[in-house]
C-alpha cells in the first residue's frame, strides 16, 4: 500500500479486496481508494460521474472506490495500529465522517463487511464519549480494504483485527473532529502503539 494527498484528495494505492458503502460501492478488487473534498455547497445529481471524473484527474488507471466529503483533506487523521492504517476525515453540522481502513493482512469478504459494522459502532462510541449528541452524520461512508493472503475470517469487536479497528476509530474520530474545527493545515499521522505523532 502507498498513499499520498493533495489539497483536495487522499489517494491510497495497492492491490485491494475492498468493501465500500460509498456511491458506486460494493465488494470488489480495486487498485485505488480515495477521499475527495468537494465545496461546502456542492450538490450533484450524478455523484458517481463526479467520482469517475476525480479518478481520471488523479490519473487512477485501474478500478477504484471513491468517497466525497465537504471536510478539507488537511484535517485528515491517519491512525496506525497492528496491521491497520485508518484514514479519517470528520465534520458534523452538514458534513460527513469518512473512514478508509486498510489491513496489510488479508480478510474474507464477510470479515470486510463485518468490519464496517465494527467501525460504525466504534464511531458512535467515539462521538458519544466526546460529548456529541449524535450517532453519525447523514452522509457518513466507509471503505474497508485488505491486501495479502487470507488471515482474518471475522472482524467483530472482539477479534484481533476488530480490536485494532476500534482503537483507531475511537481515537481517530475525535482527533479528526478537533482538527477540522481547529482549522488544521496539514494531515496528522498517529502511531497507536507509541502515541507518536508525525506531521
Give domain limits for the chain. 2-192
**Per-residue confidence band for 196, with pLDDT thresholds at 50, 70 and 90:** low
pLDDT value of position 199? 42
Residues 97, 155, 10, 38: what is their CA dihedral angle, to the nearest 10 degrees? -30
Residue 136 to residue 92: CA distance in whole angstroms:
8
Report the pLDDT averaged over residues 46-70: 95
DSSP 42-57: ---S-HHHHHHHHHHH
Residue 119 to residue 133: CA distance in whole angstroms:
18
**Per-residue confidence band for 134, with pLDDT thresholds at 50, 70 and 90:** confident
Give the range among 38-42, 117-121, 127-131, 141-145 with minimum mean pLDDT. 38-42
Check if the beta carbon of residue 67 is closer than 8 Å to that of residue 90: no
pLDDT value of position 51? 95
pLDDT value of position 41? 75
pLDDT value of position 195? 59
**Average pLDDT, whole number, for the chain?**
93
pTM, entire model? 0.95
Q: Name the strand (E) or helix (H) holding 63.
A: none
Residues 73, 50, 27, 71: what is their CA dihedral angle, to the nearest 10 degrees? 20
Give the range among 29-38, 85-94, 144-153 with minimum mean pLDDT. 85-94
Instruction: For CA atoms 162, 156, 124, 103, give the dihedral sign.
Output: positive
**Per-residue confidence band for 190, with pLDDT thresholds at 50, 70 and 90:** confident
CA contacts within 13 A on the Cβ side of 28: 15
**Per-residue confidence band for 194, with pLDDT thresholds at 50, 70 and 90:** low
Check if the beta carbon of residue 70 is closer than 8 Å to that of residue 93: no
Residue 197 to residue 190: CA distance in whole angstroms:
5
Placement of cell 487523521 in the chain: 77
| Percent of the chain whose predicted confidence (pLDDT) is above 70 | 96
Amino acid at each position: 500500500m502507498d498513499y499520498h494527498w493533495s489539497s483536495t484528495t487522499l489517494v491510497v494505492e495497492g492491490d485491494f479486496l475492498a468493501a465500500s458503502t460509498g456511491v458506486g460501492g460494493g465488494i470488489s478488487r480495486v487498485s485505488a481508494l480515495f477521499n475527495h473534498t468537494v465545496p461546502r455547497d456542492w450538490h450533484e445529481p450524478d455523484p458517481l460521474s463526479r467520482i469517475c471524473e476525480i479518478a481520471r484527474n488523479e490519473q487512477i488507471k485501474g478500478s477504484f472506490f471513491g468517497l466525497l466529503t465537504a471536510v478539507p483533506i488537511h484535517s485528515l487523521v491517519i491512525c496506525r495500529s497492528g496491521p491497520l492504517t485508518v484514514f479519517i476525515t470528520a465534520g458534523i453540522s452538514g458534513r460527513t465522517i469518512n473512514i478508509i481502513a486498510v489491513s496489510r493482512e488479508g480478510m474474507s469478504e464477510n470479515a470486510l463487511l463485518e468490519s464496517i459494522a465494527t467501525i460504525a459502532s466504534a464511531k458512535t462510541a467515539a462521538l458519544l464519549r466526546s460529548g456529541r449528541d449524535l450517532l453519525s452524520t447523514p452522509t457518513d461512508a466507509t471503505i474497508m480494504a485488505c491486501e495479502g493472503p487470507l488471515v482474518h475470517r471475522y472482524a467483530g469487536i472482539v477479534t484481533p483485527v476488530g480490536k485494532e479497528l476500534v482503537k483507531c476509530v475511537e481515537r481517530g474520530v475525535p482527533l479528526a473532529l478537533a482538527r477540522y474545527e481547529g482549522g488544521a493545515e496539514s494531515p496528522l499521522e498517529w502511531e497507536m502503539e507509541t502515541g507518536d505523532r508525525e506531521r
